[in-house]
Amino acid sequence: MKILVTGGAGFIGSHVVDAYVAAGHDVVIVDDLSTGKESNLNPRARFHRLDLRDSSLDELFAAEKPEVVNHHAAKASVRESMVEPALYADVNITGGINLLERCRKHKVSKFIYASTGGAVYGEPHYLPADEAHPVAPLDPYGVSKAAFEYYLPLYFKYHGIRYTILRYANVYGPRQDPYGEAGVVAIFTGRMLAGQQVIINGSGDQERDFVYVGDLARASVLALHKGDSGTYNIGTGVGTSINTLFAAVKHIVSSDQPEIHGPAKVGEVFKIWLSADRARQELGWQPTTDLHQGLELTADFFRTKH
């Protein structure tokens, strides 16, 4: 099967590409390298450097003729989105619509969308949050990701493009960028290994659902043949506090860092973890990497880099 992966040079997208290649598929990567890295590219996939809003995307579709599109490319910083809401709407919604239009024109059969369970639900009314939970994002990033979800049933109804929406929990693992704003696991691990001070935002009692990137990539493989017209949380169903995470990473990397707290960040959910029961029942997916094992694998990656 020929699959086009947008954002395939990024942290998550590159692992999805690897999983597709390992499963024997023909993979094409589209990435503008604004946050992705050439070092993440799988040498067995074909790479095109391109912005999704570019008109030349049509020529790429005409040449490559993908059967499936897996859409990971996005602006993805909660804090930046609070300052640049129009940019997030332009890239995540307008860019996504341009991609869908190319899928319509060139007869793509299925569209797999990487959404966010950590941001679309807002502050949860109940935990774990399942797919029936109200969508009430607290930041423009979450709004843009949720808004694009609504286009997919329309393109199925009017153009026959099958779709699966995967709402990710907090993803961590090798290749995540520890510099600037990134996942807290990468930040803690990278800075501790470099002997730099880690600052915990707020009290550290915030809780997140940390899912290992290798487990998550399997969901995109399963979604090739399952989950049509479905929305699925991809998480562990377990909340872990930032303070607990700090202590675990500190132990794994043998750091002597003291616990220091800074101000809380605006627009961030305080506690969220996801029910993935529907993914288990309908996709046959469940996480297999526990947090300690995943943190060890992540630390090994960063040790190699350092």
Residue 47 pairs in a beta bridge with: 29
For the structural domain made of 184-207+238-274+288-305, what CATH number should be given? 3.90.25.10
User: What's the average model confidence in pLDDT over 105-130?
Assistant: 96
The first and second tokens of residue 221, run together, are: 């493989």
Alpha carbons 95 and 20: distance in angstroms, whole number: 24
> What average pLDDT is seen over the chain?
96
List, for residues 163-189, the tens digit of each pLDDT value.
999 999 999 999 998 765 568 999 999
Task: With CA atoms as reference, report the closest residue to 232 among 285, 297, 157.
Answer: 285
Task: Give the pLDDT band of residue 269 (cuts 50, 70, 90).
Answer: confident
Q: 306 pLDDT exceeds 70?
A: no
Task: With CA atoms as reference, report the closest residue to 184 among 249, 138, 129.
Answer: 249
232 catalytic residue (yes or no): no
Chain-centroid distance, C-alpha 67: 22
Q: 35 pLDDT exceeds 80?
A: yes
Please identify which of the residues 141, 168, 212, 232 carries the catalytic annotation: 141
Three-class SS state of 49: strand
Alpha carbons 161 and 152: distance in angstroms, whole number: 8
Alpha carbons 229 and 112: distance in angstroms, whole number: 10
Q: 200 pLDDT exceeds 90?
A: yes
List, for residues 44-58, the tens digit of each pLDDT value.
999 999 999 999 999
Q: Would you list the domain boundaries of the chain? A: 2-169+212-236+276-283, 184-207+238-274+288-305
Q: 78 pLDDT exceeds 90?
A: no
**pTM across the whole model:** 0.96
- In the chain, alpha helices (H): 11-22, 57-64, 78-83, 85-89, 95-105, 117-120, 140-149, 151-159, 184-193, 213-222, 242-252, 277-278, 291-305
Phi, psi of 122 (to 5 degrees): 70, -155
Alpha carbons 233 and 213: distance in angstroms, whole number: 14
For the structural domain made of 2-169+212-236+276-283, what CATH number should be given? 3.40.50.720
Alpha carbons 46 and 35: distance in angstroms, whole number: 18
